[in-house]
Amino acid sequence: MTKMERQKENILIIGAGLCGSLLALRLGQRGYNVNVYEMRPDLRKVDISAGRSINLAFSDRGNKGMKLVGIEEKVKQLCIPMHGRMIHDVHGNTFQSNYSGRDHEYINSISRGGLNALLLDEAEKHENVSIYFNKKCKSVNFQKTTALFKDYHTKDEFVEDADVIIATDGAGSALRKSYYLGKKFLFSFSQNYLTHGYKELTILPKENGDYKIHKNALHIWPRGSFMLIALPNLDGSFTVTLFLSYDEGEYNFNNLTNEECVLEFFQKEFPDALAVMPNLLDDFFTNPTAPLGTIKCSPWHYKGNTLLMGDAAHAIVPFYGQGMNASFEDVVEFDAILDKHEGDWETVLSEYEKTRKKDTDAIADLAIDNFHEMKDHVANPIFQEKRKIEMVLEKEFPDDYSSKYSLVTFNEHMGYREAMLKGRAQDKAILNMLSDGVISPADDLKDILEKVKSETVAILEDDTIAGLH
């Protein structure tokens, strides 16, 4: 396909969030004629954050997307490295649990708005890319490849057509809704909510602008059935998130209805956090409580006409810090499929789903695993022992061992599904060998490594023979 042929092709992207703006930038670079419609105002001109996911975890898979479009160095300026989890107990004692035994492996806290603005700026540098704001997609006619929009300013409705429509319009996707309601094909779909919701709070900077708690860590206050976390922002503040059941346990979102209750809850469970959050009550009663859901569906595409990408295809819970990273990796994978099949949209869209969906299904499941691990297991002795052994193995044998967390987060050339299968088998191997006394932290490290490796292989083989996976 020549550049001139590509320029004749009109791609309509619904949604200019993180995924949509990276996709627009990449397709702009490839020479397509790209039009992007976004329901919200331009976040570079209007503050549209509303107490929901102000910052995000950015790591190696997301960075593949930045490398693809050549803005890795610019993004680095927005990043605050977090080398590990800083765990806070009920007495305010802390200890750090690194994400990896390899020093160069860490994750970053990044501002959603800052990164989105950069991607929009970069995309708009291409004259073949146009971005329109305040235009909400109401439905998509996937058989005709047209989309119906409403302009929030003029209140007018209008229809746009294109050669291909790609919906990156998030968990509430209009295209996905049109697939579901259209009943033109068998559409498998699931939305599953956790029993917990979340609410964002803040730790403001010191008067001199310094951070009130350690800057370079993801702070966690794990409490078994609920938890608090905090990620740093460039301005010296932390965005704090409370994950709590809606209706179970002594304290829950449904019964934390007055200031006294909320203070009592924080005083009892998070006294050291409360000490740096004089603004707690304001935040608590101003910011919304939002649900935590997982969305899966199939097919993602209709013939060569339309495609779901990012959260629109696979919204996940935030506990692996992979939501944005998975969406950026979508764009990288899509770009690789374009390299192979450009010019044949039906093959591009179906091959993309075929190669990609197994991995986004896996990260969805891993993120739910990590919900339980973060709120519960990080404070559980045998899981802590496993974690310590894995840190030492990664440090001593950096080329020979990666924990499940490292496989998922730092081994960006291994797909999520392979990382999940291998990582879960490793976890099972170590936990059982610890429990059975087959290995102990005092053993020779090389010996532990060999036992973990062979037991992991045995576990995977047993599952294969039993017809699992």
Choose the stretch contacting a copy of itself; rule: CB under 8 A; options: 5-13, 77-85, 180-188, 273-281: 180-188
Identify whether the C-beta of residue 212 lies closer than 8 Å to the C-beta of residue 195. no
Binding mask 138-177 for a copy of itself (x = CB under 8 A): ----------------------------------------
Identify whether the C-beta of residue 219 lies closer than 8 Å to the C-beta of residue 229. yes
Distance CA 32, CA 26 (A): 9
Q: How many residues bind a copy of itself (CB under 8 A)?
A: 28
- Residue 414's CB: how many other CB atoms inside 10 A? 16
Residue with Cβ nearer a copy of itself (187 or 397): 187
SS3 category, 88:
strand
Burial environment of residue 128 by CB neighbours within 10 A (0 to 12, 13 to 18, 19 or more) = middle
Of the residues 209, 381, 437, 467, which one makes contact with a copy of itself according to CB under 8 A: 467
Residue with Cβ nearer a copy of itself (191 or 267): 191
Q: Is 435 in the site for a copy of itself (CB under 8 A)?
A: yes
Distance CA 400, CA 467 (A): 28
Residue 2 corresponds to which tokens in the numbers above?
């020549």
Q: Which residues, 374 to 403, sit near a copy of itself by CB under 8 A? A: 377, 382-383
SS3 category, 167:
strand
Site of tokens 């930038």: 25
Binding mask 403-432 for a copy of itself (x = CB under 8 A): ---------------------x--xx--xx
Residue with Cβ nearer a copy of itself (13 or 407): 407
Q: Is 193 in the site for a copy of itself (CB under 8 A)?
A: yes
- Residue 230's CB: how many other CB atoms inside 10 A? 28
Choose the stretch contacting a copy of itself; rule: CB under 8 A; options: 117-125, 360-368, 387-395, 458-466: 458-466
198, 200, 212, 210: which is closest to 86 by C-alpha? 212
Q: How far is the CB of 357 from a copy of itself (least distance, A)?
A: 13
Residue with Cβ nearer a copy of itself (154 or 191): 191
Strand-pair partners of 458: none
Please spell the DSSP secondary structure of 362-375, one letter per residue.
Answer: HHHHHHHHHHHHHH
Q: How far is the CB of 465 from a copy of itself (least distance, A)?
A: 5
Of the residues 2, 210, 413, 466, which one makes contact with a copy of itself according to CB under 8 A: 466
Q: Is 291 in the site for a copy of itself (CB under 8 A)?
A: yes
List of residues 6+ apart from 455 with CB closer than 8 A:
429, 432, 433
Question: Which residues form the interface with a copy of itself (CB under 8 A)?
Answer: 186-193, 246, 291, 293, 296, 372, 377, 382-383, 424, 427-428, 431-432, 435, 462-463, 465-468
